[in-house]
Structures are given as C-alpha cells and as structure tokens.
Amino acid sequence: MKLQRTDILVLGGGAAGIAAASAAADTGLDVTLVEKNGYAGGKATAAEVGTICGLYRFSFDSADYIVKGFARDFAEELRIRSGTTPLSNASGLHYLPYHIDVFKQYSYELLNTKGVRVFFHSHVTAVTVKEKQVNAVFIHTQDEGEIEIRPRIVIDCTGESTVARLADLTVIRSEHYQAAAQVFTLQGIKETHEGKLGLILMKELRMAIQQGKLDHYFDRVYVVQGSLHDGTVSLKIGIPVPVTYCPGNLDALRASAFDFIYRLTTYLKENVAAFKEVTIEHIAPEVGIRVGQRTHGRYVLTEEDVLGCKKFPDAIADCGWPIEEWEQDRRVHMRYFEPEEFYQVPARCLRANGIDNLYMGGRNISATDGAIASARVIGICLQTGYAAGRLAAAQLQGISADSIIEEIQLGAVYSS
C-alpha cells in the first residue's frame, strides 16, 4: 500500500473543503484534499443547488454582504464569472445564482493555483486514532488503489462526519433528518417570467392534488431561483422518502426522485400550456441530502443561539440566514430572527471533542438539528471551512488561535 504524508488532510471538496484547503495552503503547508466525485463543489455542483444562501445580511434593503474575506471574494468571483446578480424575496432574504460549470471550474483553478494535492474519485475506507490523534486515514482511489495517508491534522468537510463515524467518536444524530431534494432541468418552457412560472406551477399542482390526479407530495416542487433562461428552467422536488442513512436508503431516494420527475413532467406536458413542449434536459447527478451526522465539538451550537442571535468572543462566522427546515409532510418551514440581526458560529464548533488534531467545516460542524438547519447553507459553509483551514494551519505553525480568530473577525484581506 502506498504511503502519503501531508501536513493537513481535507476530506470533502465541497464549499467548506475548498475554503479549508485554500486557507491552509496559503500558509505554505502541504495540503491534500480527498473528494469522492471527479470534480469539486460538493452539493453545489453534484446536486446542482443553483443558488448560494447565507452570503448577505437579513434585510429588506439591498443585498449587502454579511460575510468577509474568503467567502466574499469567492462569491464575487463566482458572480462575475456567472454574470449573475443577487436575487431577493419578500421575506428579506437574498441569494446568489451561479452557473454549475463555473463553480466547478473556479474551484478547480483555486485548488490548483494553491498547490493543493487532490485525489478525485476517492473515498475514505478507514481511520485510526492513537493517543487522541488521528494518525492515519486510508483512502481508496480510482487511479492508484489503496493509499495510507499520515496527516498531522485532519479537517472533515464531508458533510457526514466521516472521520468521527469511522473512528467511533461521538456524533450528533438526528431522530428525523430533513427531507432530501432532487434538482432537474426542463427545456421547451413557453413562459418567460420566472415568478409567473412559479405561480402557474403551484396553482396547477395544487389543483391536480385536490382533484386526485397527483399524490399529495406533488406540491413540493420549486423553481430554482434565477434558472429560467432560453426556454430552460431547473426545478427542485422534495423526495417523498425519509432520509435514514440505512443501507439502500440512497438508492431508494434516487428511485423515488426519478419516479417523481417522470410523473411530474408527464402531467405538466399533458395539462399545462407553459409546459406543453417540455422535455427533460438533465437530472442532477446527486440527490440533495441537506443534513447528516455532525461531529460532537467543544461547543454545540443550538437553535436558541441562532434565533437569539448569540454573539461569541471566538466567533469565526457571521450568519444572517434563518432556520430552514424541509420536512417530509409539508413545504419548507422558515424560522426567522429579527431583520438586520445575525448570529455567530464560535471556533469551538470546528474542533472535535477529545481529539487534538481533528477540525470540522461545513455541514458537519458541531450543531443541533435546529442550528444546522441554518448553518448548513453554502455561504456559511465557506466561512466555517475557511476558519477551520486557518486554525489548523496555526496549530501546526505555533501561532495563537486567538490571533487568527481576530484576523477572521476583521475580514483580513484574502488573495484569491
């Protein structure tokens, strides 16, 4: 088996993993990233989320950034390359549409420019822990077979606490996980106004459900904001199968999603004028699983912290997104705090409890169900991933964590 040594090992190449690897590599350390897909971006690209939430202040005014540093620079570059502008809704939320291929390309360029060693088409098979340290991570790669990686520090950005689960560490599980989604794209749309298309869709589907022509869950269909152009539109559906993480669950979710998509498309084509000539152009490669298990950290962020807009002396992220819960039996449920307010994520949520060299970023930071329902969005994942990368590098270089936290809070200039 091949042996690979590295200073910092980042697991997961989604938004948080890209941010963590970039931050750590900027310090001159040797950084390795492991990603299961053949491209970077995680759910932002594989599940084709389509919009970045959590970048802007919760406000009824214009879309003003609440994020600083890396997250802001990354979003600005993505916005410029995609040729998009922030969108807003009547509730005071703002989000940034982006092009999937642009996200993939920019992520790859960033990792390559920073000199990050990347293993694509690779996944973790085992982890060993010795004396409160992750001392080896075993991965299976498509091109090189089995590799043993000996890292000095690990940053888990997989979204499912891979290290903690394989090492039998304490994880935060949910009794009921949020409903999964599937994004797909239709072509041949005859309506040119996105808002009007959404209203048509909602009205027609609710009527069909009332008349018994479609099952009750067909009301959980949404237009992906900013996606309607040149006769194509992306839709997001709530999959009517619970997320359980049991064997075979992912296959069941995917099968249900495909059935939903084909039944929905057939009904729209046969009954709704705006969809008379539609065909399925594309189905996103991955099901959008919103929440997984989280690693138990040195602090557990709670929904009371979120709704109470709690501030922390060791804050590493400013967060203006509400608690967003997607349940199996209804459309999305939002729980808001006061406009112009925000909460913060403390650095302690990024450090595993009882392990000295394990950090977390993104969707598996230490948080309760309610808190992660806000903190999981991409804009916040960029912040927690970046902070994890900076703090991990500081630990290896003997730099005070407090000084790094202060830099992050000040929004120290990031050179992308």
Nearest residue to 183 via CA among 104, 129, 116, 260: 260
Instruction: Say if strands 145-156 and 358-360 run parallel, antiparallel, or are unpaired.
Output: parallel
Q: Is the model's pLDDT at 287 over the cut of 50?
A: yes
Per-residue model confidence (pLDDT) at position 414: 39
Write out pLDDT tens, residues 10-67: 999 999 999 999 999 999 999 999 999 999 999 999 999 999 999 999 999 999 999 9
Per-residue model confidence (pLDDT) at position 412: 53
Per-residue model confidence (pLDDT) at position 380: 98
Share of the chain above pLDDT 70, in %: 99
pTM: 0.95
Per-residue model confidence (pLDDT) at position 415: 38
31 neighbors 177 (Cβ within 8 angstroms):
no
pLDDT tier at 328 (50, 70, 90 boundaries)?
confident
Domain extents in the chain: 2-175+292-410, 181-283
Distance CA 30, CA 118 (A): 11
| Fold that domain 2-175+292-410 belongs to in CATH | FAD/NAD(P)-binding domain (3.50.50)
Alpha helices in 246-377 (DSSP H): 249-271, 303-307, 369-375
Per-residue model confidence (pLDDT) at position 416: 37
Write out pLDDT tens, residues 194-251: 999 999 999 999 999 999 999 999 999 999 999 999 999 999 999 999 999 899 999 9
Interior angle at CA 340, CA 334 and CA 345, nearest 5: 70
Share of the chain above pLDDT 90, in %: 94
Average pLDDT in the chain = 95
The residue that leads in pLDDT, 415 or 296, is: 296
